[in-house]
Chain A
Amino acid sequence: MCLAVPAQLIECRGTNATADLHGNRVQISTLLLPNCKQGDWVLLHAGFAIQSLDEREAQETWAVVNDLRNAGAEP
């Protein structure tokens, strides 16, 4: 129920935005994060951006995650 994933905002239009999750593009709402802008990294939960993430921290935190997850990806 607390599933939230990091994603980058590709495009912002008013209270809506397009987020990129490693190639998957989702339409989400920015109603809960009114100051976010294109290019920002955010935490997504149930179709809403709920927190902005520092890009470097996001990459490190989730790079570890990605490292854990993707050590098994294409050789």
Chain B
Amino acid sequence: MIDFYDTKTSSVNQAAGQRISLAHGGGGQLTDELVASCVLPRLDNCVLSQLLDSAVFRGAERLALTIDSYVVKPLKFPGGDIGRLAICGTVNDLAVCGATPLAIALSLILTEGLERRVLEEVMDSLAAAALEARVSIVTGDTKVVGRGQGDGIYITTAGVGAAGNHKLHPDEVRPGDTLIVSGPIADHGMAVMLAREMPQVQSVLKSDVAPLNEMIERLLDRVPGVVFLRDPTRGGLSGVVADLANRTGLHITLEEQEIPIRPETWHAADMLGVDPLDVANEGKVLAVVRPDAAEAALAALRQDAHGKDARIIGQVNDERDGVCELHTKMGGRRVLQKPYGEQLPRIC
């Protein structure tokens, strides 16, 4: 028996070499070794380290639950990587519903042949993001698929949060309400797209990927007039606002000249022929607030590093046509629709 284990141990050591193999996903000793060396040291907490089939912990009376998968290509891009994205995306989904993130379940699907070093770097990033967001990863799973399947790493995170008392819902939105965005748009999508389609470009562009729960908590604590929040990820700002107009049946107007965008982001979009309004953000929030709460909301957002460039960008109008309209810089008008999808694949 001991011999067998010794043999196994030495082959574990060998296999615990430079690359991930199929055996690492088998649920056996190699998986244990991978988790012990790559995952636990970075994410360790008393719940996770139990390594039971389920995490058991104190929750809250009302819960919020969300899940997202991350298939971004390339795995690393200026300003972040798939690990950071996997935490921030899910944390932000909880935060915009007024929930305090409690715990995350983490699923990794790795491709045979992935360099261990890459996995370690992604895990480092994931751990740092979790620390920043003050959320724990309490349970997880690792699978490995064959060479040529997957793209190195796919991550799925499910997040559970303690639901707050704030009523944040499209039904709350009324004519006269003000729309606010927390900062310059399109940075994430353009950073990823440039990195992928034009790797030869050295850019100052960086993804804005960041956990916004602290900023949103402060906003909701201080400003009672916030009625709806959304993070404009895939589909961009036009996606979430067009959606909102459609759902509420109200007419929403955005002022093009008020929408913040960095010059380098605009130029990158120009080069690649995409509209920044349609491009994903991973560190921004769109807030709909009562008109008399707009100034207070701006002040609350601007206190946070992630919201210092917050701006009022539009308002909800009286007409009931479910249309989102852009007042252009030229003084004209056009309809803003949810983009049709495939422009920027594998952006998050």
Contacts and interface: CB of A to CB of B under 8 A. Distances in A.
A23 B263 contact: yes
Nearest to A27: B200
Contact of B263 (A3, A27, A44, A73): A73
B184 A23 contact: no
Interface stretch (B60-68, B160-168, B201-209): B201-209
Contacts of A66: 263
Nearest to B200: A27
B304 interface: no
Q: How many of chain A's residues touch chain B, expressed as a range?
A: 10 to 19
Nearest to B190: A24
A74 interface: yes
Q: How large is the interface on B (under 10, 10 to 19, 20 to 34, 35 or more residues)?
A: 20 to 34
A3 B270 CA distance: 8
B184 A24 contact: no
A21 B267 CA distance: 6
Interface in A1-45: 3, 5, 21-27, 44
A69 B203 contact: no
A72 B201 contact: no
Contact of B330 (A25, A68, A73): A68
Given A5-B271, A25-B203, A72 B263 contact: no
Contacts of A26: 198, 200-201, 271
Contacts of A59: none
Contact of B201 (A3, A24, A68, A70): A24
Interface in B224-263: 256-263
Interface in B119-156: none
Centre residue among A70, A71, A72 by max chain B CB count within 10 A:
A72
Given A21-B271, A22-B267, A24-B194, A72 B202 contact: no
Contact of B273 (A3, A24, A27, A44): A3
A71 B328 CA distance: 12
B271 A71 contact: no
B58 interface: no
A25 to B, nearest CB: 4
A21 B309 CA distance: 23
Nearest to B310: A75
Q: Across the A-B interface, give the 7 residue pairs with the lowest CB-CB distance, nearest first.
A: A23-B204, A23-B264, A25-B202, A21-B267, A71-B257, A22-B263, A24-B203
15 contacts: A3-B273, A5-B267, A21-B267, A23-B203, A24-B203, A24-B264, A25-B202, A26-B200, A72-B258, A72-B261, A72-B311, A73-B184, A73-B260, A73-B263, A75-B260
Interface of A: 3, 5, 21-27, 44, 66, 68-75
Given A3-B270, A74-B309, 16 more contacts: A3-B273, A21-B267, A21-B270, A21-B271, A24-B203, A24-B268, A26-B200, A68-B257, A68-B330, A69-B329, A70-B266, A72-B259, A72-B311, A73-B184, A73-B261, A74-B262
